[in-house]
Structure 1
Amino acid sequence: MRYVAGQPVERVFPGAVHQSLPLGASLPTAGALRVMVWNIFKQQRADWLSVLKNFGKDAQLVLLQEAQTTPELVRFATSNYLAADQVPAFVLPQHPSGVMTLAAAHPVYCCPLREREPLLRLAKSALITVYPLYNGQLLMVVNIHAVNFSLGVDVYSKQLSPIGEQIANHTGPVIMAGDFNAWSRKRIHALYQFADDMALNEVNFIDDHRRKAFGRPLDFIFYHNLSVVEASVLLTRASDHNPLLVEFHPETDK
């Protein structure tokens, strides 16, 4: 589902997602590319909007997980960004919930993905979008909420597989981020193996206040063909996850 200010909500059908969209204006940055990544917990806690206003409005990209399309969130997205794309994982009584990518440019490519939780039978979603950069490169952005309740890592790896195919066929910088639910040794190993296979680097945080489960962080940002200028984790009670804030600088094409 695509939300754009002044336009009706557009449903992007799966049959059309692999077709390139017309090349539009690039992300408005000739220097640091600011990115915010946050599992927003379906906006169930107070102050989520103030956190987004204070830290998200200056970012060129905001990658949300468990984003529920309430009027308040849609209003924020369409007031501060050119495009907001959401892959509904499941529909709550009033509003769909799933990953949502807010961007200061229109995507030139869009591919939604879903994977069903094997135990709860609820779906988790991922979204791949591509945006032009000022230097002529195309930036691929992967926003993911990984499956949580599964035995072993077969379904976990299955969710990553089509993402890997997209990254492997992309020329240019890549950002892959979100809530990876990497709470077990096998899951974190599978995730790091995937990142290694895709030549993705991990963003490291000096003051690491990321949400943890069984001693392991759940939220990650990986990248390729970019350099990290600054990275931090924002402490907040506005969700059960803390937002990740990163500034990248595009590198020359490799």
Structure 2
Amino acid sequence: MRKKTYAMRYVAGQPAERIFPPSAMLPVGQALPPGAPITPGVTLRVLVWNIFKQQRADWLSVLQTFGKDAQLVLLQEAQTTPELVRFATSNYLAADQVPAFVLPQHPSGVMTLAAAHPVYCCPLREREPLLRLAKSALITAYPLPDGRMLMVVNIHAVNFSLGIDVYSKQLGPIGEQLAHHNGPVIMAGDFNAWSRQRMNALYRFARDMGLREVRFTDDHRRKAFGRPLDFVFYRELQVTEASVLVTRASDHNPLLVEFASSGSETP
């Protein structure tokens, strides 16, 4: 029997709350619960990082240094250790984690830290066909100051699989939600796109969803077989700055992207 998919929400001063997938997709054009915008102005800073289960020293100082000015922090392989939960709840209004698998003490999975409470939260899991471990993804949504709704996808893609059937299967439900959403999108994380087949599937998916790829001029992203693993895709936003931070605090380097949230980018 498959385990139920859910997200754990961490908010300062409140007990952790279990969030199950919604019964309906984000209701485009319909009334949503009122919420404060994710950013007070037009600038939206996003940090994306596979944090390697906090197994290396200095992970916290990297988060404190580069995450403090970001309105969104998208982590993969985030273990809900007391130190990480304390950082998240001290610096962000809400942190949502999808437990992919449970380690001896703390669950590990994608975690989205945000400067606003999400008005929509949809956790997703996909099982690795060979290792039988799960990878997770999380779709959240936040109001922007201009009244639009930003959909954020935080993903850790399946790694060990033959062919791309399971890889494409994991992208399927995400594609359904992106196609349903009429508004800006950020989709980022560790896509494990280490083969030509996977790269082609990912780029085909992005093209079908109207997503553009953030380009890094000084590209120090973690690579496998010569291909980068971490990506940031977007639509209806403008990229004003993008950099890769070099650190030994994980086996991946963090990506820091600054968007202008007003207006859409012309192709």
TM-score scaled by length of structure 2: 0.93
Deviation at 1:235, TM superposition (A): 0.2
Query: Superposition RMSD on alpha carbons, in Å?
Result: 1.4
The Cα shift of 1:16 comes to 5.5
User: 1:15 Cα shift?
Assistant: 5.3
Answer yes or no: is 1:97 the counterpart of 2:116: no
Aligned amino acid, residue 16 of structure 2: V
**2:13 matches 1:6:** yes
After TM superposition, give the deviation of residue 19 of structure 1 in Å. 7.3
Find the aligned partners of 2:94 and 2:56 in 1 and give their Cα distance: 25
| Counterpart for residue 198 of structure 1 | 209
Separation in structure 2 between the aligned mates of residue 69 and residue 4 of structure 1, nearest angstrom: 13
* 1:188 alignment partner in structure 2: 199
Secondary structure at 1:11 match in 2: strand
2: distance between equivalents of 1:253 and 1:188? 26
Query: Where do 5+ consecutive residues of structure 1 fail to align?
Result: none
| Aligned partner of 1:22 among 29, 33, 39 | 33
Q: Corresponding residue for 2:226?
A: 215
Q: Residues 79 and 17 of structure 1: is their aligned pair in 2 closer, same or farther, counting only changes over 3 Å?
A: farther
Code of the aligned partner of 1:126: A
Q: Which residue among 163, 172, 178 is the counterpart of 1:161?
A: 172
Q: Which residue of 2 aligns with 1:139?
A: 150
- The residue type paired with residue 80 of structure 2 is T
Does 2:131 match 1:120?
yes
Distance change in 2, residues 1:17/1:145 (3 Å): farther
Partner in structure 1 of residue 86 of structure 2: 75
Pairwise CA distance, 1:14 = 3.1
What's the counterpart of residue 46 of structure 2?
35
Q: Aligned equivalents of 1:40 and 1:19: distance in 2?
A: 29
For each residue in 1:53-83, what CA deviation from the matched residue of structure 2 results, as whole angstroms up to 9, or x when unmatched? 0000110000000000000000000000000
- Separation in 2, partners of 1:16, 1:169: 14
**1:143 positional shift:** 0.1
Distance 2:23 2:118 in 1: 14
Q: Residue type of the partner of 1:252?
A: G
- Deviation per residue, 1:76-118 (Å, 9 max, x gap): 0000000000000001110010000000000000100000000
Residue 17 of structure 1, CA deviation: 7.4
Post-superposition CA distance 1:195-214 (Å, at most 9, x none): 00001000000000000000
Q: Select 1:226's aligned residue among 237, 244, 258.
A: 237
Q: Tell which deviates more after alignment, 171-180 or 19-28.
A: 19-28
Partner of 1:61: 72
Say whether 1:110 aligns with 2:133. Answer: no
Match of 2:141 among 130, 138, 141: 130
Aligned AA for 1:209? H
Deviations 1:19-60 (A, max 9, x none): 776221111331210000000000000000000000001100
1:171 aligned partner: 182
Q: Percent identity?
A: 80
Q: What TM-score do the two structures reach when normalised by structure 1?
A: 0.97
The equivalent residue for 2:5 is none
What is the aligned length? 254
How far off is 1:122 after superposition?
Answer: 0.2
Q: Distance in 1 between matches of 2:127 and 2:12?
A: 31
Q: Which consecutive unaligned segments of at least 5 residues does structure 2 have?
A: 1-7
For residues 253 and 216 of structure 1, do their structure 2 counterparts lie closer, same or farther at Cα, with a shift above 3 Å needed?
closer
